Chains A and B, each alone.
Chain A
Amino acid sequence: MSDRGLVLACSAIGAGLAMIAGIGPGIGQGIAAGYGASAVGRNPGAKSDIMSTMLLGQAVAETTGLYGLAIAFILLFANPLLGKL
């Protein structure tokens, strides 16, 4: 296997591993949505406030997952390791 092939293959595996970061935000957003739903059930009048707070919290929770996505994209499309060969 050539050096370049090894780097490309390991980058592909690394990109896949980086996307494991998606687990955390998934769980977090699910918890936020669940509590949001129960809050609407308890107080239907405050639905719009609860919705906007929930979306804001979910968006912040999503950031870590997107960092993983950014790393995966960097490994796939702008690979810095290939320059070191």
Chain B
Amino acid sequence: MLLAAGGDVDFMIHGLFKYELFGQELWITTTHVSILVVMLVLMVFAVAANYKIRHADEVPGGFQNIVELIVEFLDKMVYGSMGKNGKKFLNYIGSLFLFILVSNISGLFGLRAPTADYGVTLPLGLMTFAIIQYNNIKYNKFGAFTGLFKPLPFLFPINLIGEIAVPFSLSLRLFGNVLSGTVMMSLIYSLLSRFAIGWPGILHIYFDVFSGAIQTYVFCMLTMVYTTDKMPE
């Protein structure tokens, strides 16, 4: 059903390996492979960083500097927008940030970015939704439900939709941005394959690095904003 410019424009998810589970036909796709590569990279990085920090030097240099830079950046971002509530969320936001960032940038290394698959971003959005609603009920008790009827009772449907739309708008935003980058890059590589020498690198910087970093930041910021919104001051 590839409608746009038939032929060798290729940015779809491919099935690599088929297996059956409880009568369902399931596929191992390119998304699984790239997500495994991303996880492997993050794990190796985490182990190396852990080893380095355990054997930290007095004057940091090289790798230790990078690790400290990342941790300080995440600390600043989380505490800056969540205040004293930030301590409990640092783990979640930090791992979310690193995972989405490395996923988005993986397009640079020839992988199909895992976040360009709605099956990856929707669970991320649903996880955020679960955290938001857990904190909503934890801090507001019964007010989580009566809050839907404020300021006026007949606004209940709109408030309900506003709550439920959060995971979908979060995940669609990330998915749409990364997918549009992937589509643009593959269009350039397949339609202009003769001329695409060197200069698409500039577009890679925009579509993969810049847009990916912005969307990562926005996803984490929105998660924090929505969560802080439900907490008492």
Contacts and interface: CB of A to CB of B under 8 A. Distances in A.
Interface of A: 8, 11-12, 52, 55-56, 59-60, 62-63, 66-67, 69-70, 73, 76-79, 82
Interface of B: 1-4, 12, 81, 169, 172-173, 176-177, 179-180, 214-215, 217-218, 221-222, 225
Given A55-B218, A63-B169, A78 B1 contact: yes
Nearest to B218: A59
Given A55-B217, A63-B172, A77 B3 contact: yes
Contact of B1 (A59, A63, A69, A79): A79
B39 to A, nearest CB: 26
27 contacts: A12-B3, A52-B81, A52-B217, A52-B221, A55-B217, A55-B218, A55-B221, A56-B222, A56-B225, A59-B173, A59-B214, A59-B215, A59-B222, A60-B222, A62-B173, A63-B169, A66-B172, A66-B177, A69-B179, A70-B176, A73-B179, A76-B3, A77-B2, A77-B3, A77-B12, A79-B3, A82-B1
A7 B225 CA distance: 43
Contacts of B179: 69, 73
Contacts of A79: 1, 3
A11 B3 contact: yes
A11 B1 CA distance: 12
Secondary structure type dominating chain A contacts: helix
Contact of B172 (A67, A76, A77): A67
Contacts of A62: 173, 177
A76 B4 contact: yes
Nearest to B214: A55
The 6 closest A-B pairs by CB, nearest first: A66-B176, A59-B218, A76-B3, A69-B176, A63-B169, A56-B221
B14 to A, nearest CB: 13
Contacts of A55: 214, 217-218, 221
Contacts of A82: 1
Given A59-B215, A62-B173, A73-B179, 10 more contacts: A8-B3, A12-B3, A56-B221, A56-B222, A59-B214, A63-B169, A66-B172, A69-B180, A70-B176, A76-B3
Contacts of B218: 55-56, 59
Nearest to A67: B172
B104 to A, nearest CB: 14
